[in-house]
């Protein structure tokens, strides 16, 4: 289910805000009324609306779109720092940013309309030379930016948001039956088309779920002979069995990747947020990789890790494993070091994983989190990269509300940062 935030500040235009909420909820979209200040928000016509949440309580990663209603002084009140931060963050990630009436002026104030096709209530865009202002369209779409004219266009504005969310098939559910024969026939035809499409969507949904269940069962079953093989190796230690054990460790890693990939779209059903000490998480990850670290003669320098964060231990350990294994894979031949430490700030805790490996080409850094991207290093004959590890790290971090950043200098090394916001989750006692 898609999730949308409708931001309210005192003085908002009621019909613009509530039409969007009404249409999106009818369209099976999880639409939240979000206040930037108090729970009760007064509209420009003195209608008081009780909000569902506060802007300081939400995690923008969970939402697919943000909507700014117009009205005065509502649109001006939305020019707050908290709104600016949220809107820019969602725009940078190409999520839908929608504004109507006077609110496109708020987007202009945030400097995200320059060079964009847009419209607004007359006079609400101050510098039309910096935008491609369109006066003869009621709703204008430019990639992820949706703008509209005013109260009379609220319904068309809401329907366009619904359409851009990819929920086009739900529009028939909110269209009233016309009172003329041709309209009734047309609506009935649309409903039949929707029914057929939904049947096909559900068919593939069940197929996907069935395949996921099979993957999880297969992973469970394959772990049994691997564990048995490791027991045999433990009782018959020699140079050959040691080599086999190392290869089995690699197989286990790929199996673990497959399991976490299968579950990556439903992380919320499997995570358990609690207070954990970073030192414990790091030690567990190092223990998992000790054989490879010893074999490759890689030194480990850990310090300043006696810091608590709110996260899921299992998922973060997996993420750390992928990062550490990359450091091992792309190490230098001599004097390889992996340094892991943390820094506690006012708003977050940052975990650093640094190595002095071969590094990444500057032009490839922005693509390292893309699915299947292996880069120049991954194409080296002895590396055998899949391009899945860092992709999964990014995907899981987004689900957990944890930031992940990567910096690298070729032939000098790579630094990965995991950012744990202090206020992302409810404080646990």
CATH of the domain at 87: 3.40.50.880
* Residue 181, in any domain of the structure: no
Query: Do 260 and 275 fall within a single domain?
Result: no
Query: Do 388 and 304 fall within a single domain?
Result: yes
Query: Do 61 and 163 fall within a single domain?
Result: yes
Query: Do 229 and 282 fall within a single domain?
Result: no
Domain final residue, candidates 175, 208, 225: 175
* Residue 184, in any domain of the structure: no
Domain final residue, candidates 264, 288, 313: 264
pLDDT of the residue at 425: 41
* Residue 47, in any domain of the structure: yes
List, by residue number, the catalytic residues: 101
The verdict on pTM exceeding 0.85 is no
For the chain, give me the number of helices (H) and strands (E)?
12, 18
- Helix/strand/coil for 303: strand
For the chain (length 429 residues), average pLDDT per consecutive 10? 95 96 90 96 96 92 96 95 95 96 96 94 92 92 95 93 75 69 74 71 73 77 85 88 85 81 66 86 91 89 93 90 91 90 91 94 89 80 73 86 92 94 51
Residue 9 in tokens: 């500040």
Domain final residue, candidates 229, 264, 299: 264
* Residue 428, in any domain of the structure: no
Count: domains in the chain: 3
Residue 400 in tokens: 């957990």
Q: Are strands 413-421 and 403-409 parallel, antiparallel or unpaired?
A: antiparallel
pLDDT of the residue at 295: 84
Query: Do 329 and 349 fall within a single domain?
Result: yes
Sign of CA dihedral 149, 154, 158, 160: negative
* Residue 188, in any domain of the structure: no
Query: Do 222 and 140 fall within a single domain?
Result: no
- Enumerate residues 6+ apart whose C-beta is below 8 A from 171: 27, 159, 162, 163
Query: Do 73 and 133 fall within a single domain?
Result: yes
Query: Do 67 and 118 fall within a single domain?
Result: yes
* Residue 372, in any domain of the structure: yes
| Residue range of the domain that includes 203 | 198-264
- Going through 23-138 in order, the beta strands assigned E by DSSP cover 30-35, 40-42, 48-50, 53-54, 65-68, 96-100, 117-118, 132-133
Contact of 351 with 319, CB cutoff 8 Å: no
pLDDT of the residue at 179: 81
Query: Do 257 and 168 fall within a single domain?
Result: no
Query: Do 254 and 283 fall within a single domain?
Result: no
| DSSP letters for 267-301 | GGGT---EEEEHHHHHHHHHHHTHHHHHHTT-EEE
* Residue 346, in any domain of the structure: yes
* Residue 180, in any domain of the structure: no
Q: Give the CATH number of the domain where residue 390 resides.
A: 3.30.565.10
Query: Do 45 and 103 fall within a single domain?
Result: yes
Query: Do 230 and 275 fall within a single domain?
Result: no
């Amino acid at each position: 289910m898609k999730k949308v935030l409708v931001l309210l500040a005192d003085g908002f235009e009621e019909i613009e805000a509530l039409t969007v909420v009404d249409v999106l909820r009818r369209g099976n979209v999880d639409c939240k009324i979000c206040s930037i200040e108090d729970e009760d928000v007064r509209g420009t016509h003195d209608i008081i609306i009780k909000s569902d949440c506060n802007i300081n309580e939400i995690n923008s990663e969970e939402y697919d779109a943000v909507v700014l209603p117009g009205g005065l002084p509502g649109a001006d009140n939305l020019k707050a720092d908290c709104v600016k931060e949220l809107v820019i963050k969602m725009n940078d990630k190409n999520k839908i940013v929608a504004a109507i009436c006077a609110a496109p002026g708020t987007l202009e104030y945030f400097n995200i309309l320059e060079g964009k096709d847009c419209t607004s209530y007359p006079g609400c865009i101050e510098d039309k030379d910096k935008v491609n202002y369109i006066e003869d369209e009621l709703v204008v779409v430019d990639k992820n930016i949706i703008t509209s004219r005013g109260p009379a266009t609220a319904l068309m504005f809401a329907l366009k948001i619904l359409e851009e969310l990819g929920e086009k098939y739900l529009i028939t559910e909110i269209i009233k039956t016309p009172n003329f024969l041709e309209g009734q026939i047309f609506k009935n035809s649309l409903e039949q088309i929707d029914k057929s499409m939904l049947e096909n969507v559900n068919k593939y949904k069940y197929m996907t779920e069935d395949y996921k269940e099979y993957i999880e069962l297969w992973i469970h079953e394959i772990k049994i002979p691997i564990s048995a093989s490791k027991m045999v190796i433990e009782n018959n230690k020699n140079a050959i069995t040691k080599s086999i054990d190392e290869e089995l460790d690699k197989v286990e890693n790929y199996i673990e990747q497959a399991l976490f990939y299968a579950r990556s779209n439903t992380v919320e059903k499997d995570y358990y947020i609690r207070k954990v000490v970073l030192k414990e998480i790091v030690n567990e990850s190092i223990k998992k990789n000790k054989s490879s670290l010893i074999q490759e003669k890689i030194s480990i320098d850990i310090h300043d890790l006696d810091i608590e964060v709110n996260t899921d231990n299992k998922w973060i350990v997996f993420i750390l494993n992928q990062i550490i294994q990359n450091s091992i894979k792309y190490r230098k031949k001599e004097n390889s070091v992996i340094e892991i430490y943390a820094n506690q700030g006012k708003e977050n805790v940052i975990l650093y994983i640094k190595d002095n490996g071969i590094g990444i080409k500057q032009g490839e850094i922005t693509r390292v989190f893309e699915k299947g991207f292996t880069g120049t290093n991954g194409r080296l004959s002895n590396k055998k990269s899949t391009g899945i590890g860092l992709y999964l790290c990014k995907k899981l971090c987004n689900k957990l509300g944890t930031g992940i950043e990567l910096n690298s200098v070729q032939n000098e090394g790579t630094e990965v940062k995991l950012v744990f916001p202090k206020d992302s989750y409810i404080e646990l006692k």
